[in-house]
């Protein structure tokens, strides 16, 4: 596969330069997105009629389309368009030993502090004044005193940090004894490691090759929030790339611009993305090097995806603990070794959220506010809406129905006649439908309809027979399109 990779911006930017070059968020207030998402059927609070459950969100009819499209776009880039990566769908429940071996039982935890007066709990590293906290600070029992930290709500005294394991535990089988404890997976990666040999053998894979997975993960986050950014039940899109040790550094660097480009290809503005390299003190126990792709959310620069050089930690540990030989025999070098892993770890919830925020547009058109979502056509929930100018004329409605039925064979299309045409356009703009097809009285005479473009609002008249082709051609062009600047 040939590809032109854009130059990666410097990973470690100096703090002052970053502050000076802060582009600001695409949308000032998170509430703007949360309320649009609820009003238009993208995301609802889970179990809302019972008052909701913290940090779980349900995707509504349009949200599920958007998220499915995000997952499809990732699969296309990571599996379909490449000959070196294959897919996998491992179980959410795994042998409990997996999580002991991986280090999660011992150290997948966050430092938590509790306020003595109101009993609220906080993640130590999210308190004001902890911006420069190092990993050893997080383990320092005297850290609260040393930094003079107080409860951000009522100013009360805070406890020393306690480490709180983020894995959800449950029981397998009818007897709740300790032997039956299993965990809901906190990441999909382990499924790929324990299947390394199965995949390599059944698919006759030579190094380097990757295993991609999309699926649910669960973390009992101490301070979830910011809408779908940090949930307790979420999905991940992770890819484990198995490499020769000597090639790991080079391959790691190659994945950085590739993953960056995936976000820009689907519409995220370059200026709201940056790379951030983890300081040596911040690296997870398994990582040799880690760089996050960060996005400028309304609540600051935050991780969108992590790219990690994990060395031989994963396969090495599983080999030692399971007794199964996970080495790879390299016929070129005539030697066996445990492959190293370069991982790209992102998630469709954070990605869909980012695409939503970055696509949000507000402008004034003829004295009225127009809100639109300039979503990439591949990601838009509906590709096309078919609208009647006069719903009282049965011939117009029939023609609309004929068009929409035909379009639905290939794309998500919707028919709507519940308001005036101006309102219908605004509704489709707000949910990001790239094209609206309007059938009017003249259509009955000239067998032509008007197609309106969401972004330019330009209208063109095309024949009824061309509609299907028009939409699928434009979608194909958008799919092939180069990354947006
Ligand atoms: P953070 O530092 O934000 O907690 P992390 O470094 O723990 O993230 P990873 O373990 O690298 O995240 O997980 C990979 C990806 O999975 C993240 O980049 C994100 O897209 C997604 N993800 C992780 N935790 C959550 C969550 N609680 N809610 C939604 N998505 C998540």
Residue 485 pLDDT class (50, 70, 90 cuts): very low
- 347 C-alpha to ligand 1 centroid (Å): 7
- Angle, CA of 92, 99 and 323, to the nearest 5°: 110
- 41 C-alpha to ligand 1 centroid (Å): 24
For residue 412, give every residue at least 6 positions away whose Cβ sits within 8 Å of its Cβ, in sequence order, or none.
65, 381, 382, 383
Local structure of residue 249 (DSSP, 8 states): H
Q: Is 163 exposed, middle or buried (0-12, 13-18, 19+ CB in 10 A)?
A: middle
Residues with CB under 6 A from ligand 1: 187, 219, 221, 230-231, 234, 236, 303, 305-306, 345-347, 349-350
Residue 11, helix vs strand vs coil: coil
Residue with tokens 């979420």: 234
Share of the chain above pLDDT 90, in %: 81
If one compares 437 and 332, the residue with the highest pLDDT of the two is 437
Question: Would the pLDDT of 306 be above 70?
Answer: yes
- Indicate which residue's Cα is closest to atom 6 of ligand 1: 306
pLDDT for 94:
97
Question: Would the pLDDT of 227 be above 50?
Answer: yes
Question: Would the pLDDT of 3 be above 50?
Answer: no
In 3D space, the residue among 294, 290, 316 whose CA is nearest the CA of residue 304 turns out to be 294
The backbone torsions φ and ψ at residue 451, rounded to the nearest 5 degrees and listed phi first, read: -110, 125
- Pocket probe mutation, ligand 1, options 229, 306, 353, max atoms within 8 Å of Cβ: 306
Question: Would the pLDDT of 82 be above 80?
Answer: yes
If one compares 11 and 86, the residue with the highest pLDDT of the two is 86
Tell me the domains of the chain and their CATH numbers.
8-100+167-356 (3.30.930.10), 109-165 (3.30.40.230), 382-480 (3.40.50.800)
Distances (CA, A) of 195 to 86, 91, 243, 272, 481: 12, 11, 16, 37, 35
- 434 C-alpha to ligand 1 centroid (Å): 31
Across the chain, what does the average pLDDT equal? Answer: 92
pLDDT tens column, 118-132: 888 888 988 988 888
pLDDT tens column, 262-273: 999 999 999 999
Question: Would the pLDDT of 151 be above 80?
Answer: yes
- Indicate which residue's Cα is closest to atom 8 of ligand 1: 303
- 207 C-alpha to ligand 1 centroid (Å): 28
pLDDT for 126:
85
pLDDT for 430:
97
Q: Which atom of ligand 1 is nearest to the CA of 292?
A: 18
pLDDT for 62:
98
Q: Which atom of ligand 1 is nearest to the CA of 284?
A: 6
Given phi > 0 = left and psi -120 to 50 = alpha, else beta, which region is 212? beta
If one compares 107 and 338, the residue with the highest pLDDT of the two is 338
Segment 88-97 shows an average pLDDT of 97
pTM: predicted TM-score of the whole model, two decimal places: 0.91
Structure token pair of residue 151: 């409860």
- Pocket probe mutation, ligand 1, options 230, 233, 341, max atoms within 8 Å of Cβ: 230
Does a cis peptide bond (omega within 30 degrees of 0) precede residue 311? no
Strands 435-439 and 448-453 come out as: antiparallel
């Amino acid at each position: 596969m040939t590809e032109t990779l854009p130059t990666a911006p410097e990973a470690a930017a100096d703090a002052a330069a970053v502050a000076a070059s802060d582009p600001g968020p695409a949308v000032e207030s998170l509430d703007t997105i949360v309320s649009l998402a609820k009003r238009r059927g993208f995301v609802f609070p889970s179990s809302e009629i019972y008052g909701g459950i913290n940090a779980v969100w349900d995707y509504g009819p349009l949200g599920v389309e958007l998220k499915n499209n995000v997952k499809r776009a990732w699969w296309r880039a990571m599996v379909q368009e490449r000959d070196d990566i294959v897919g996998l769908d491992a179980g959410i429940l795994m042998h409990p030993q997996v999580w002991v071996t991986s280090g999660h039982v011992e150290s997948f935890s966050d430092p938590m502090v509790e306020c003595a007066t109101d009993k609220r709990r906080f993640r130590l590293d999210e308190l004001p004044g902890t911006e420069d906290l190092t990993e050893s600070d997080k383990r320092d029992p005297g850290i609260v005193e040393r930094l003079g930290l107080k409860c951000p709500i009522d100013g009360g005294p805070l406890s020393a940090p306690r480490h709180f394991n983020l894995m959800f535990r449950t029981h397998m089988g009818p007897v709740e004894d300790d032997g039956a404890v299993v965990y809901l997976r906190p990441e999909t990666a382990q499924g790929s490691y324990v299947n390394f040999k199965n995949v390599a053998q059944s698919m006759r894979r030579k190094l380097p090759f990757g295993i991609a997975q999309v699926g649910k993960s669960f973390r009992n986050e101490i301070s979830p929030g910011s809408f779908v950014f940090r949930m307790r039940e979420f999905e991940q899109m992770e890819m484990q790339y198995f490499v020769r040790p000597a090639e790991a550094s080079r391959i790691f660097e190659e994945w950085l611009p590739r993953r960056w480009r995936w976000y820009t290809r689907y519409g995220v503005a370059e200026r709201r993305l940056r790379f951030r390299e983890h300081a040596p003190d911040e690296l997870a126990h398994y990582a040799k090097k880690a760089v996050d792709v960060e996005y400028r959310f309304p609540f600051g620069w935050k991780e969108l995806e992590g790219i990690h050089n994990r060395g031989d930690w994963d396969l090495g540990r599983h080999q030692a603990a399971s007794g199964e030989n996970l080495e790879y025999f390299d016929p070129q070098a005539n030697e066996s070794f445990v492959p190293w892993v370069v991982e790209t770890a992102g998630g469709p919830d954070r990605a869909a959220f980012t695409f939503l925020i970055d696509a949000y547009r507000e402008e004034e058109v003829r004295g009225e506010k127009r809100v639109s979502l300039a979503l990439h056509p591949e990601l838009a929930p509906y590709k096309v809406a078919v609208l009647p100018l006069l719903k009282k004329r049965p011939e117009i409605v029939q023609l609309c129905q004929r068009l929409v039925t035909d379009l639905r064979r290939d794309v998500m299309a919707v028919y709507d006649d519940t308001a005036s045409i101006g309102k219908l356009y605004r509704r489709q703009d707000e949910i990001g439908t790239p094209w609206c097809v309007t059938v009017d009285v003249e259509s009955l005479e000239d067998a032509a309809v008007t197609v309106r473009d969401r972004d330019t609002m330009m209208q063109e008249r095309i024949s009824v027979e061309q509609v299907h082709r028009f939409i699928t051609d434009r979608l194909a062009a958008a799919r092939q399109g180069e990354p947006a600047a």
